[in-house]
Amino acid sequence: MLSIIRLILERLGLGVLVLFAVSLIIFLGVELLPGDLCQALQGQSATESTLAACRKELGLEQSAPTRYFHWLANIAQGDFGKSLANGREISELIGVRLANTFFLALVAAVIAVPLSLILGILAALYRNSWFDRSINVLTLASISFPEFFVAYILILVFSVQLGWFPSLSDVSPDTPLLERLHKVFLPALTLTLVVMAHMMRMTRAAIINLMASPYIEMAQFKGLSRSHIIIHHALPNAWAPIVNVVALNLAYLIVGVVIVEVVFVYPGLGQLIVDSVQKRDIPVVQACSIIFAATYVLLNLTADILSIATNPRLLHPK
């Protein structure tokens, strides 16, 4: 148990370093883009004098290192600062959207994870049957289409023709839970179709891989049923790769949904970061990327811990 706690602390320390590196890379990246916030904000209507006034007001005339360290000092105290573009507190700007992003990811995960695990196990159980083949074709087909295409097809069927679900997922903080679930159903379904194949196939492959091991053969000789072998003997040892793939896909559900957000007009973080990059609003871009990076760090950590905890051999390394 102690070794797990030590591992968590170590990984958290490394995570902070990763976040620091990410913030530096993002800052340099945005700095390298042509133009600055004032040019982006004023677009075609910019003039030399309005640009100068704008830069002065926002402190953009200071050198890049000064601005970066100023920002770093604030973030160390938990102050994300203010958006350069509209002067709103970033924590307030991000708060609602982050909650929306997590909500959509959660709904999608609640549908996608059990579904893909069950389908994966069934596919391994009835390997090479018509069921296995058709489920593979379906999930691979849905992952191969671009997200917006899947989204448009779902809108066409469920929203325009059947009228069951709305095509706009414009939730606000005071939307009741049931209505909220109704509104996010189509985007969640889109995301489910996009991430399912990866998890389903990994589950299937991990189990099939184990089925050739001697201890499974032993279980077969004992006369156990196929489903009993898979669930009680193969699955516990297959968790490690499955959990890692699930973690990767959960992270994707949080950070990679901007296209789905745009198609369904869902007010999540993706749209915010795209707008902010276009406007060179560095503090907002930084805050969003820190959150995204932290999501990856934490989910990967959880995946590692879960795979160790479910596997005694990893828990007591020689």
Partner 1 sequence: MTDLKQLDLDLRAGRLSRRDFLKAAALFGLSAAAPSVLFGKPAYAASEPKKGGHLKIGTGHGSTTDSLDPATYENNCMQSVGKTIHNYLTQVAANGQLGSELAETWEASEGAKKWVFKLRQGVEFHNGQKMTANDVIASFKHHGGADSKSGAKVIVDAFSDLQADGDHTLLITLKEGNADLPYQLSDYHLAVMPANAEGKIDAKSGIGCGYYKLKNFEPGVKTSVEKFANHWNAGTVHLDSAEFITIADVTARVNALTTGEIDAADRMDVKTLHLLARNKNVRVIETSGNAHYSMPMRCDTDPYKSADVRLALKYAVDRNAMLETVLRGHGYVGNDHPIGRANRYLAKDLPQRAYDPEKAKFHLKKAGAEGLKVQLSTSDAAFAGAVDAAVLYKEHAAKAGIEVEIIREPSDGYWSNVWMKKPFCFCYWGGRPTEDWAFSTAYAADAEWNDTVWKNEKFNQLLLAARAELDEAKRATMYAEMQMLLSEDGGTIIPIFNNYIGAVTDKVGTPEVIANDWDLDGQRAVLRWWKTA
Chain residues in the site for partner 1 (CB under 8 A): 33-35, 38-51, 53-54, 56-57, 83, 85-88, 93, 96, 152, 155, 159-160, 163, 166-168, 170, 172, 262-265, 267, 271-272, 275-276, 278-279, 281, 284
- Choose between 149 and 215: whose C-beta lies nearer to partner 1: 149
As a whole number of angstroms, the distance between CA 179 and CA 50 comes to 45
Q: Indicate the residue among 47 and 77 with the shorter CB distance to partner 1.
A: 47
> Which residue lies nearer to partner 1 by CB, 234 or 284?
284
Closest CB 58 distance from partner 1, rounded Å: 10
CB of 247 to partner 1, least distance (A): 29
DSSP label of 46: -
Output 154 or 193, the one with its CB closest to partner 1. 154
Cβ neighbours around 256 below 10 Å, total: 17
Tokens of 144: 């191969």
| Distance (Å, whole) CA 304 – CA 293 | 17
Cβ proximity to partner 1, 12 vs 33, nearer residue:
33
Question: Least distance in Å: CB of 43 to partner 1?
Answer: 5
- Displacement of CA 226 from its chain's centroid (Å): 35
82 forms beta bridges with: 89
CB proximity list for 82: less than 8 A, separation 6 or greater: 88, 89, 90, 283
Residue with smaller CB distance to partner 1, 42 or 134: 42
Give the 3-state secondary structure of residue 35. Answer: coil
CA distance 199 to 139: 10
The number of angstroms, rounded, from the C-alpha of 175 to the middle of its chain's C-alpha atoms is 23
- Closest by CA to 38, choosing from 205, 280, 218, 297, is 280
What is the nearest approach in angstroms of partner 1 to the Cβ of residue 138? 25
Helix residue spans in 126-144 (DSSP H): 130-144
Q: Are 145 and 228 in contact (CB under 8 A)?
A: no
> Nearest approach, Cβ of 150 to partner 1 (angstroms)?
13
CB closer to partner 1, 23 vs 83: 83
| Alpha-carbon span 301 to 318, nearest angstrom | 22
| Rounded least distance, CB 181 to partner 1, Å | 17
Q: Which of 251, 236, 230 is nearest to 120 (CA)?
A: 230
Q: Which is nearer to partner 1, 48 or 128 (CB)?
A: 48
Distance of closest approach, residue 184 Cβ to partner 1, in angstroms? 15
Give the nearer residue to partner 1 in terms of CB position, either 219 or 254.
254
Residue (of 199, 187, 296) closest to 252 by Cα position = 296
Residue labelled with tokens 């996608």: 112
Please enumerate in sequence order all residues whose Cβ is within 8 A of that of 218, keeping only pairs 6 or more positions apart, or say none: none
